[in-house]
Amino acid sequence: MAAARDSRLVSPTMIDNLAGAPAAEPHSPALEELDPLQAHFHEGVAPDEIEQVYHLKRAAPMLQAFTALFHGAQDGVIVRLLVLRDLAADSGTSAFSRADINQKFAYLIPESLETVLGRLRSHGLLAWDNQAGVYRITPLARNVLAALDTLLALGQPDEDEAEMGFLLSQVAGAQAVGGVTVEQLKHLLGRLVELHEEFRDAIASGSEFRLRASQAKWHTACDWVEKGSDILRAITSDERADFATHRAAQAIGRAQSQLLNMQGMFSRALNQIERQRVHLGQSGLSTTDIKRWLLAHEDLASLAENAIDRPVVPLFTTPAEMIDVAETELMTERAPVMAPGGLPNGEDAPMTINDNPAMQAELDDWIKRLSDFANLGNFPVMSEDSPKSVPIQESLLPASFAVASYRASLLPLLGDAAEANLQGATAELARLPVKFTSEDEMVQLDDPHVAAMSRATLSLNLDDLTLDLESKTQDE
């Protein structure tokens, strides 16, 4: 044991000898085992022990191909993609001589073309055949271009506002060939969760413009959800899929259900905004109309041009004039004190005109008209030959534009349960057995005051009417 301990001792002479020894060979096994990726990890953590690092290292040729295309400035990237895509798009031949390439890309300077060909050849995107003296497109290059073409075709924000087309196409393509992965499903699930949070924040914001923009995006997302339902059913019914794939597909199904259930949330939020809409006097215009008109102007400052005839001219006074004004004000303050006291003479109160009775009379007249409209004997739906619904313009008109706009602003209150539980004229309006249904289209009218109106109908709520008749029968 003593001999073993002595064999591990190192003397100063041995240290000097080691320092003077020649350096290790550059290709020694110790240096070959060093991983450059280790410099990015903490000491004691091996990169190969991480699963994602293993998968990325296996895809090193594909990653090098993308690096060859996208490394550097944007102009260089565009030229490389231009050359590679044009060569791959020529399906008439599979080999290209240098003369053919020079003729095809005659609009490029020779130096740039030579640089691009050398870069593509060194990274395995172009193959050089020495015997035939031609270039060939490699299978790796065609796979890279196919992925890029799919992304460029389905990743346009104007065409896919929900930005789900590319993700769903990847899942559909992988499912068709039987190779869908959990990572692809998780990407789609992550996008669905992001959309749900975005729509939820838009509903909580209370902004009408943000709500309508999110609702349009929600409709696009629902279209993609409808297309992806068949793919998810195929994945969940596939016996060859593992547990992780089934679990990810089920999570996507739940996320899709949450998106589809947001239709009622959008409708309630927009109806709440409609009830709280502020109208400017009796003009029929609302704050939403004013905001939409302002957003249509790119330069709001230009609206103030020629709005003021002349600039404000400041007035300056000298000290002498200020003393005269101060003396006058001082004397006027003393005069009432020296005057004999007494009560002032009585005066008649000024006459004011209140607009509320006129508005109340208009509201009472509107409620009476709808009440007669909802009567069994008056409502057209009770006769066999009459239509089942009545266009909204027949009830709003004839009237001036201001009165018709005021009546239209009260229509969302019909059938509102929360408003019906309150007291007042609007609560009486909400309790009427009339149902209001609107559409997104406009209908042109032959009216002197109203040129067009949203297409909508009034129909009798038969369920509420049946309950009213039963209650009246029981009371009798």
- pLDDT at 336 (0 to 100): 54
CA dihedral in degrees (24, 30, 33, 39; nearest 10)? -80
Between CA 458 and CA 439 the distance in angstroms is: 12
Q: Report DSSP state, residue 270.
A: H
- 49 falls within a domain: no
- Both 103 and 176 in one domain: the answer is no
- pLDDT at 466 (0 to 100): 52
**How large a percentage of the chain has pLDDT more than 70?**
77
- Both 379 and 457 in one domain: the answer is yes
Rounded to 5 degrees, what are φ and ψ at 299?
Answer: -115, 100
- Both 206 and 269 in one domain: the answer is yes
Q: How far is CA 217 from CA 196, 222, 441, in A?
A: 11, 9, 19
Cβ atoms within 10 A of the Cβ of 434, count? 22
Between CA 136 and CA 117 the distance in angstroms is: 11
Beta bridge partners of 286: 279
**How large a percentage of the chain has pLDDT more than 90?**
2
- Both 167 and 260 in one domain: the answer is yes
Bridge pairing between strands 390-391 and 434-444 = unpaired
List alpha helices for 123-179, DSSP H.
139-154, 165-176
**Reduced to 3 states, what is the DSSP secondary structure of residue 261?**
coil
- pLDDT at 32 (0 to 100): 41
- Both 179 and 92 in one domain: the answer is no
- pLDDT at 21 (0 to 100): 38
Single-letter residue type at 18: L
Beta bridge partners of 136: 95, 127
DSSP codes, 367-418: HHHHHHHTSTTT-GGGSSSS-SSEETHHHH-SS-HHHHHHHHHHGGGTT-HH
- Both 138 and 165 in one domain: the answer is no
The pLDDT of residue 246 is above 60: yes
Single-letter residue type at 77: V
- Both 164 and 249 in one domain: the answer is yes
Average pLDDT over residues 294-314: 75
Confidence of residue 12 (pLDDT cuts 50, 70, 90): very low
- 10 falls within a domain: no
Between CA 127 and CA 147 the distance in angstroms is: 20
Q: Exposed, middle or buried: residue 124 (CB in 10 Å: 0-12, 13-18, 19+)?
A: middle
Six token digits for residue 351: 């006459």
Q: Note whether 175 and 231 are within 8 A (CB).
A: yes
- pLDDT at 22 (0 to 100): 39
- pLDDT at 8 (0 to 100): 37
Six token digits for residue 26: 């550059």
Six token digits for residue 184: 């692809």
Six token digits for residue 202: 């838009």
Q: How far is CA 56 from CA 47, 50, 59, 170, in A?
A: 11, 10, 5, 19
Single-letter residue type at 308: I
- pLDDT at 406 (0 to 100): 83
Number of residues that this document lists for the chain: 476
- pLDDT at 388 (0 to 100): 60
Instruction: Answer with the one of 273, 305, 322 that is the final residue of a domain.
Output: 273
- pLDDT at 19 (0 to 100): 35
- pLDDT at 321 (0 to 100): 75
Q: Which residues touch 258 (CB under 8 Å, ≥6 apart)?
A: 196
Averaged confidence pLDDT in the chain: 76
- Both 130 and 186 in one domain: the answer is no
The pLDDT of residue 376 is above 70: no
Q: Is the peptide bond before 398 cis (omega within 30 degrees of 0)?
A: yes
Instruction: Answer with the one of 258, 273, 288 that is the final residue of a domain.
Output: 273
Single-letter residue type at 455: R
For 406-417, how does the pLDDT look when each residue is reduced to its tens digit (9 = 90+)? Answer: 888 888 888 888
Q: Note whether 164 and 223 are within 8 A (CB).
A: no
Between CA 173 and CA 183 the distance in angstroms is: 14
Q: Note whether 430 and 415 are within 8 A (CB).
A: yes
Beta bridge partners of 458: 390, 436
Residue 121: which domain range? 60-147
Instruction: Answer with the one of 147, 169, 198 that is the final residue of a domain.
Output: 147
Residue owning tokens 């190779």: 179
- pLDDT at 353 (0 to 100): 59
- Both 135 and 216 in one domain: the answer is no
Q: What angle do CA 79, 80, 83 make, to 5 degrees?
A: 85
Single-letter residue type at 320: A
**Reduced to 3 states, what is the DSSP secondary structure of residue 20?**
coil
- Both 122 and 208 in one domain: the answer is no
Average pLDDT over residues 45-57: 84
Q: How far is CA 437 from CA 226, 275, 371, 382, 459, in A?
A: 26, 15, 18, 18, 8
Between CA 450 and CA 51 the distance in angstroms is: 68
Confidence of residue 155 (pLDDT cuts 50, 70, 90): low
- pLDDT at 29 (0 to 100): 42
Between CA 92 and CA 103 the distance in angstroms is: 16
- 123 falls within a domain: yes
For 75-109, how does the pLDDT look when each residue is reduced to its tens digit (9 = 90+)? Answer: 988 999 889 888 888 877 778 888 888 888 899 99
- 343 falls within a domain: no
Residue owning tokens 């020894």: 21
- Both 142 and 177 in one domain: the answer is no
- 378 falls within a domain: yes
Looking at residue 69, which CATH number applies to its domain? 1.10.10.10
- 126 falls within a domain: yes
On whether the pTM is more than 0.85, the answer is no
- 269 falls within a domain: yes
Q: Which residues touch 218 (CB under 8 Å, ≥6 apart)?
A: 195, 199, 259, 262, 263, 266
Most confident of 273-287, 294-308, 393-407: 393-407
Six token digits for residue 36: 């450059």
- 208 falls within a domain: yes
Angle between helices 243-260 and 262-275 (to 10 degrees): 20
- pLDDT at 308 (0 to 100): 64
- pLDDT at 335 (0 to 100): 52
- Both 137 and 77 in one domain: the answer is yes
The pLDDT of residue 339 is above 50: yes
Domains contained in the chain, number:
3
**Reduced to 3 states, what is the DSSP secondary structure of residue 456?**
strand
